[in-house]
Every structure is written in structure tokens, then in C-alpha cells.
Amino acid sequence: MKKLILLAFFFILVTNLINAQTYKTRDANIYFNPNKDLSHKDYASQSKEGTAVLKVETSEVALLVPMKTFHFNNALLEEHFNENYLHTNKFPNATFKGKLTGFNKDQLTKDGVYNMSSEGQVTLHGVTKDFKAPVKMTVKGKAVTFDCSFKIKAEDYAIDIPGLVKPKLADFTPIDAAIVFQLN
């Protein structure tokens, strides 16, 4: 009898451990367009190779985007992005770590759109800043999509924009992140 209780206790602990679910994706999509006039796409860029993790129990999230996976329409601009502005040999990744507020794991079992916010730290170009932005979570069957749109200022991250280009760019760069997790 005692043995049985012991085993049950052990089982509960282990299942509890397994229940600490984490979801992971390797194709997080990050898009930005720094143009003042957003219909211009000359400086717009996209990476589809971000890695994101979500830990359901603690609502913790983390995102890592290798800077070299940002591609541009014009190859020369891509070279400038890497060599002159973001110095991607020195700072190879952009990262985010933080928490979702307004998230609970029951939402994952019901289809719908949930609004919440994320709070944490962004590291870009070697500079770490506090970050807070609203997030929209869409649950549809096994797919959970997080959409987050926010704006950053290049100067905050010590990114020098030359005077010649500056007039064409907005003061704040809008960034869209779309992260899709597959529940299993």
C-alpha cells in the first residue's frame, strides 16, 4: 500500500513536469519597413527564420532572430544593413525575452482571438532595452498565431543612419512579428 502511494506521488510529480509544456517554432516572421511613406518598399526587409519558444505554464516567451536572415529586394542594401548599420558580424542576433500578461493555457484549447501584452527586454545591435507591446493571439485548431506590431527608434539602439538617407526614413520604424506555434 505504502509502495503504491509512493508510486502515485512520483507519477504526479513527473506528469506535472511533462505538463510544463513548451512550444517552439523555427520560422518566426519579422518584417520591417523604415520608409516614411510606407508604400515605398525600398528599405523594407524580412526574416522568416526566427526561433521562438513559449512556455505555457509560466507564460514566458523568447525569440532569437539571426540578423543575417534579414533579406532585402536590393542586394546592395542588404550588404549595407550587415556591414554598415547593424554590424552583424559583431552582433549576430536580435533577441527578445519576456512574459505574456493576459495569457492562460485554457485559451489554447478554445478557438478565438485573444488580446494580451508582452513585456520584457529586446537586445539589438548590442543594446538592451525594456520593451512592452500589445499582442494578438489567434487560436485556430492546432495553430496558435501571435501577432505583434511595435515601433522602435534606430537611435535607441545606437544605429547610425547617414544624413543622406535620413530624410526618407520615419523616426520610428514599425516592426511586425508573426509567430505561429503548432500545438501537438
Residues binding other proteins (CB under 8 A)? 2-3, 6, 9-10, 13-14, 16-17, 20, 22, 31, 33, 41-42, 44-46, 51, 53, 55, 58, 60-64, 66, 71-80, 82-84, 89, 93, 95-97, 162, 164-165, 176
Distance CA 4, CA 14 (A): 15
| CB 34, min distance to other proteins, A | 12
Q: Which is nearer to other proteins, 80 or 107 (CB)?
A: 80
Q: Which is nearer to other proteins, 112 or 130 (CB)?
A: 130
Taking Cα atoms as reference points, which of 177, 181, 76 lies closest to residue 133?
177
| CB 125, min distance to other proteins, A | 14
How many other CB atoms are found less than 10 A from the CB of residue 122?
Answer: 21
| CB 115, min distance to other proteins, A | 21
Q: Which is nearer to other proteins, 17 or 130 (CB)?
A: 17
| CB 20, min distance to other proteins, A | 5
Q: Which is nearer to other proteins, 89 or 111 (CB)?
A: 89
| CB 85, min distance to other proteins, A | 9
Q: Which is nearer to other proteins, 115 or 164 (CB)?
A: 164
How many other CB atoms are found less than 10 A from the CB of residue 11?
Answer: 10
| CB 111, min distance to other proteins, A | 25
CA distances to 112, 134, 168 from 61, in Å: 20, 14, 34
Q: Which is nearer to other proteins, 2 or 110 (CB)?
A: 2
Distance CA 121, CA 124 (A): 10
Answer for the pair 52, 62: CB distance below 8 angstroms, yes or no. yes
Distance CA 62, CA 114 (A): 19
Going by their DSSP bridges, the two strands 45-55 and 22-32 should be labelled as: antiparallel
Answer for the pair 25, 180: CB distance below 8 angstroms, yes or no. yes
